[in-house]
Structures are given as structure tokens and as C-alpha cells.
Structure 1
Amino acid sequence: MSSNPVVLDKIRCIVVDDEALIRERFRYAYPLEEHGFEIVGEAEDGEEALELCRQLSPDIVITDVVMPRMNGLELTGQLKQQMPRIKVIILSSFQEFEFARKAVMLGALGYLLKVTSGYQELLEILDQARSDIEADREKMLLSIEERRQLQDSQPLLRKQLILDIRSGTVHSLTRLSGTCDYLHWQKPAPAFALGMVSIDGYSRLSQTFHPKDLTLFKYVMMRMIEELAGQNVSCNVFDWDPQSIGLWILLQEPEWHAEQHKLFYESILHHARKYLPFTVSVRVSAVHPMDASPEAWPAAFGSAFEELEQLNAVLFYHGHGGYHEHDAAYGAGKENAPAPVSPSSPDIPDNPELPDPAERLDGLDDPSHLQRLVHEEYIRPIVRLKPEPQVLLRWMKELTLRWTTSDSHSRSRYLTGTDGIETIHDTEEFLLSLFLWRASESRLSFDQPVQRSEIRKALSYVAHHYQEPISVADVSGYTAISPNYFSHLFKSQTGINFSDYVTRYRIERSKQYLRETDKQVGEIAEQVGIPDYKYFARIFRRLTGKTPSQYREEEGAWKGKK
């Protein structure tokens, strides 16, 4: 293994059970986020879970055995076949032990007994899953590194050739054919289309993986696409930008071989989902003639690139994980095709016609009300109007700048967050987060008075027990209210969910120790209840923008004391 092993900040989990109480137990009763595990979705049966896995690309699936439609055994088998990198943990009762044993034979990591297994057993098997996931990814990265060619110039030269054709600096077919031979590319054909294969959620991935690792993943994608094309599709592959791989698709005649190419694009989507820790989206331009006259090439390639850019708007509103052809998006003989989305369209406003959020947020504290507000009054009108994504992003940045004038840290965080908005679903998530922040801005400090005595009691509990593991179940029992109602009440009173509050409180205490003592960072991490040093350092940097050592260097006062 390498000297710099893969360490993942958050492990994404899905819980599958037809009993709501079981699902709520995982979401609310266990402080999983403190250990780097995040529940990103829930499902009532295997069919729903399989679709969620395709959409969310989780790391772990925790599933019941006996469920309607598709049971846990069938789900385990499907995941083993379609997405083998996902780890499966089985929930079973004593009567279902034989099912659990079969699930392990099918590839499940292990099983938990519903009734008797507690938080410690769950954490142990989750930690095992984390170790396996990190080992799998490190092994994959090492394997990719071993296969990668030492010469890096060829991808750059291939991209440059495409740019040269578009700019008109390639003046003869003979020269173009000779350059293709030199680059080990197929020679030009009478017709062509351009395509882009883009990594979905690139901003989020760049926070998990080192840039070098993402480059290796792209290398694998390029080789994979070349192998999938094979003898069926003539396609020259080139590296376009950090997120995208370009396709120069060669055709002997202007007519598409529709089914043949559809299978090619679906294979790209399928193989990325199956073998890599992300999904991809594919965009393909219309078919253009490759005239014998080089003077016509810049216009043809320019049009193809413009069509790919226009398809960004289609992808934005459609979502990740699909393929989009220019003809399909713009009607050319297709039924139910969306209208073209371009800056010059008279139906598209220069700015989104949306209500002023400041007027709508007044008096709204309940997260469920804010979620409904975002969806009904912002996302639905946006989907109806379909403004250019760049216009919408500009509106969100302007809103962020206006709201965060006195909070530079939040301004930086939210402006950086806009870089990761690729779809309408990302837009909804961003707006909800920004609106929640705005609604609770005045109540985010740790000593802010609250009205309900139960919440004041909970804050006191955290202050006295932050060095120990703390869960919603612990504190709800201490305050004598149900976990669900406690979670709702806590957020409505403080503007922040309970697990985030505990984490923030611990980080605030750690800042005090860093300023006022000379204790080692690892010792401080243990003292504030986050014994995993690497996880503590990641959380500290996310919340403060600095490493613990940087913070101590800038803020520490103990050095001047004897």
C-alpha cells in the first residue's frame, strides 16, 4: 500500500427497511455523523433502494431481509452484479438468520440482529466497512497508477488538434490525417459529431479525492471509453478539462446509427456506475459534415461545440447520470422534446422572475416550512421558466453577497458552494441551506438564549458531557421527550440540528484549548470527545478554514506565559 492511504471524510449510507421506526432509529438514535457516517437516503424495499443507489452512489447499504417487492437477498445480489463496490450490511432477526447467512454468501459484509445489536456493534461493522472501502479505493488507485503511461504529452496534443481544427489553423486533409496517425487516432470521416463525458458532482469529489487521484480516474474512463467503442463505433477520445472527456465521433455517412450509438453511451454510463465511485453524464452534438474543404471545418466544429454548451442547460434541468443528444433536446423529429434554451430565446428572462427571499423568510423558523418554500416558490418557477444556468448561478451569488456582508466566513463558504451546482437538484439543496442559514443567522451562537426549558436543559447536558459520546436518544431521554420531537424542537429553537451543534460546541472548546494550553492536538481532540485525530482535523478545518496547528500559531496565547 502507498504511504499516503485513502482517508474518507464522510461515508455515505442508505437504510432500507419497510418499518419507519427502524429507519428512524438509524437516523436519530445513533450519533453516526460524529464518526464520519452520513445517512443520505432511506427506502422501504429493495426496488426503491436500487434506484436510490443509482442516483446517490452510496458507499454502504444497510438493509432488512424480509421486505415487499424486492427483499434483502435480491437487493444484495443486484448490487453485487451492478455496483459491486457498495458494501451491504444485513439486518435480521433470529428467525431470519439463514437468510442473513445466504446474504453473506452473496457478498454482504455482515449482519446485525435487529433486537439485540446495539450502537457499539453497529459502529464496529461500519468501521470494518470503512476500512474495506478505503482499502478498495487505494488498491484501485494503485492499480491505475501502475497502468498509466509515463508520457503525458499525447492527451495534450490530442486536445490541441481539436482546438486547431476549430480555430482554422489546420489547412489540409493530408496534414490532419498525418497528425491523427502520429497521435494513434482514427483518420477523419465524411461526417462527425462531438461529445462530452462529464464526471457528475465533480466539486464534491474534489473534496474527497486528491487531484492526482481524480486524474487517474479520468485516465481509466478514457481507456474504458476506447475499449467500449471497439469496432462498433469510430471514436477518438481526448482529455478536455478536469471534469470532462471529449469524444470526436467519426461517421462514414451523415445519418446516425441510432441504436448502435445509444448502446455505446449507455455502456459508458453503466461502466462508470459499476466500476468507479461516481456517475457520469454524456452530451452529444448533432452530426456535421466533414467537408473536403478545410475552410469549412472551423464553422462545423464551432457549431458542434455550441450545441454541447447548449446541452448544459438540458443536463442542468434533467439531472445527472444520463445522455443527451442535440437532436433529441431540440426537437428534430422527436416528440415531447423540450424547447431550446439559449440566451437569445425570447421566452427566457434575463433574470429569474422570483420573489425576494428576504420578504418570504420573515418569521419562518421551521425547516419543513423553509423546504416547502424553496420548492414551491423557487424551484418550481425556475423549472417552468428554465433560465440559463449561468443566469441562475449569478442570481444566487448576488443573493449570497447581499446576505453575508458581515460574515466573511459564511460568504466564502457559500460562494465556494455555488461552484458545485451542476443540476436543479443541487440548486434546491443550496437554496435550502442558504435560507436555513439566513433564518437562523441571529441564533447560531452557542450561548444564545432559547425559550424552551427542554432545550436549555439539552444545552446544559452537552456542556457537561461533550467529552463523551452523545446521541439524540441520550439527550431526548434526559429531557423526557421523544427523539423525533426533540430533533424538531432543537432545530426550531437553535437554527441548527443537534449533531451539528455538538460538533460545533466541541470545536469551540478545542479552540479554547489550542489558544490557552500547550497540549498536543491529538490530546485535545480526545479531550473534546473526537478521539479520531484525522476526523477531528478535517472537521476543524471545515468549520474554521484553518488546520488546528495554523489556528494555534495565529491565535495561541499560551506561548507567552511561563
Structure 2
Amino acid sequence: MLKVITVDDERAVKQGLRKIIEMYCPGFTVVGEAEDGQEALELVSRHDPDVVITDIMMPVMSGLELIANIRQRSESIELIVMSGYDDFKYAQEALRYGVKDYLLKPMNVEAVSKLLNGLRDSRIRRMADLERYRSCLWECTAIVERLAEQLWLLDEAGKMSSLAAVAERIGEARLTEGEQAQLYGDLTACLRRLIRERGLGVQEPTMPFEGGAAGLRRLAGFYSDAIRSERNWGQRAAIRNALAYIHERYPDPGLSLEEVVALTDVSPAYFYKMIKEETGRNFKTYLIEYRIAKACEMLREGDLKTYEIAERVGYPDYPHFTKLFKKYVGLSPSDFRKNMGSY
């Protein structure tokens, strides 16, 4: 129920308003009636109303003084003024204080019910919009927490999956452009905080990235590079050469551990240990994640068919590619590409 306080120095006006509200305005209840602005302020403090309907000309404290005082205390209370034709200029002045609307005396059922019922419907829509935004923010924050962990572990495929999941969730939420911009700003700030709390020893980027999905994606890329650099990624020549070879030859379906190890002049056991230390992955997992990450880039940036992309990243068996892609990204290749429209 939306709580209403009415303010007028004429008792008959307040009684008429209460009757109209109770009979023709479902969802509203009158919680207080005041004869002047000073008494109304006391009722506002006591009841925290949703709506205040006030006359303009009153003793002790005028309606204009009342609404100015209320607006200093709260931006959320809906303010409606009542006035006769002689007071119309004051009603116009009241609009400067964020007054919702005004009612001309003598009031009638149609005018009051139309105004209040419209206000109620607008409030319901705003509450639904706010709930939709909060739900989306809560879910996307959980994804960004997972993204921070993936960045810290240098999980490139996981990173792409989480960024796609954020874009998918925001696309489903039917938010306005302004709400999307605010949401991405909140998520970017969240990612910065999470990475900072992990103790990354590099300076934050001084120039802000662009907003929206592109800004979140670029920030994630910045952190990936920074984390690699801080950990002296690939400083040992043997593993550095091996990873460079993988990055060059990943389109080859026959690329094998034995082929890569042969380049390093170290034993397979020692190579396995080095790649695990450098990447946090064994050879097979690292190769799969690198191929999937490259597939994500192609899906986002080009017009190749998904089976063509599968072949270009080393998977001529298309069903096998789609199964791996969904396992590591959480979406099919076609669904991933579809979500890139907002990504």
C-alpha cells in the first residue's frame, strides 16, 4: 500500500480527498491529515509517506515552504499540490521542487483517481525496472568474481566464457542504454577491486577504457597481460620457444606433445613440469584453451562459418569442436556469436 498524507486547512477538503482515495484509488491508504505545513512535516517524519498532497495557501507554513522542506529530506516522496484558479501561479512555481502534478479545486473523482492511479502504475513499473536491474547486477557480479579468478589463473578460454556470459545476461535483461552503461561501469569497478585485492603489483591503467562491453573486455585483457608480465611469463628460453611454436602451429590438427618437446632439448617429464609452472595447465589443456580462445576471436571479429572456424583452429571434426567449445565456454559457437551483438 502507498501511504498518503493530505494537507489543507479546510476539513471538508481533507474528508473529500480521503473518500475519493479510499473508494477509487486502490493501493493507496491515507495515513495522516494536517492543517498546515508544520503539522505536515511532523507527520512526514512519523509515517515516511509515499505521497503528500498539499494545499498552497495555509497558515503557519505555506505549501511551497512545506514542499521545499520535504524535498530537502527526501527525493523519493511524490508531491502533489492543490490550488484554486487564483493560486495557479504558485502551483506552477511548485513544479521547480519536483512536484509530480497539481489538482485544481474544487476537486473531482476523475481528476484525483486518474492522477493517483497513474502514479501507482508508474511506481510499479519503476519498481519492476529496479528489480530487473538489481537481479542482473547480482548475477553479473557473480560472473565477474569468476572472471577475476580466471584472469588470475591465466585461463584465457574461461575469460572469454565469462565475458560472453556477462553480455548474454545483460542482453536478456532488456535494460535501457543508460542502465547498461551504469551496469558495465559497476562491473568494471568490481573487477578492478577484485584484482587489486589479489595484490597485482602493477600500476592501474591511467587512461580509462571506453565504457560498455568493450571497456570490460579491454580491462580484462590488460589484466591478463599484466599478470603474465608480473609472473615473468615465458622467461625460460625452452618454454618460451615451445609456447611460441604452439601459438604458430595450433591450426594443425596433428600437433602433438612429442613434436613440441623435440624443440626444447629437455625431457618430456621436465617439459611437462615447466609448462605446468608457466601456464597452470598441462600441454593438452593449454592447447585446447588456446584454440578455443582463438575460435572466440574469429567468431567475434569475422564472418567465417562456424565449421570453417573449427577447421582453422585445428578441429576438422566439427561435432568434436562444438562439444569442446560448449564445455569450455558454456555456449555453443552459434550462441556465442549471437551474443557478440552486445559484446
Give TM class, smaller chain.
0.3 to 0.5
- Normalised by the size of structure 2, how large is the TM-score? 0.38
Return the structure number with greater helix share.
Answer: 2
Greater C-alpha radius of gyration: 2
TM-score (norm 1): 0.24
